[in-house]
């Protein structure tokens, strides 16, 4: 889903006839997107490390960003929505 939204934003920007300079609003949107994407990368990395440990076989991760999956999803979607 994030690929579609990112691609859509890029296509709209590329195909606009009238070009605008990037302003503070664009910078804030970019920073919010970077924050959300970074959270996703860190959470996925933590989960991969957790799953790589044979002692954790069959267990659910109870630490790090991934353990808060509802919050993680909400923050990622919010940051993507705000960035667009």
Structure tokens at 23: 């302003």
- When computed from its CA atoms, the radius of gyration of the chain, rounded to whole angstroms, is 17
Q: Do 65 and 46 meet the contact criterion of CB atoms below 8 Å apart?
A: yes
pTM for the structure as a whole: 0.58
pLDDT digits (tens, 9 = 90+) for 26-83: 899 889 888 888 888 888 888 888 889 899 888 877 777 777 655 556 666 666 666 6
43: number of CA atoms within 13 Å, CB side?
18
């Amino acid at each position: 889903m994030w690929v579609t939204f990112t691609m859509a934003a890029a296509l709209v920007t590329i195909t606009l006839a009238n070009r605008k300079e990037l302003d503070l609003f664009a910078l804030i949107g970019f920073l919010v997107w970077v924050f959300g994407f970074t959270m996703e990368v860190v959470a996925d990395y933590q989960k991969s490390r957790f799953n790589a440990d044979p002692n954790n076989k069959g267990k659910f991760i109870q630490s790090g960003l991934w353990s808060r999956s509802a919050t993680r999803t909400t923050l990622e979607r919010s940051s993507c929505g705000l960035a667009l």
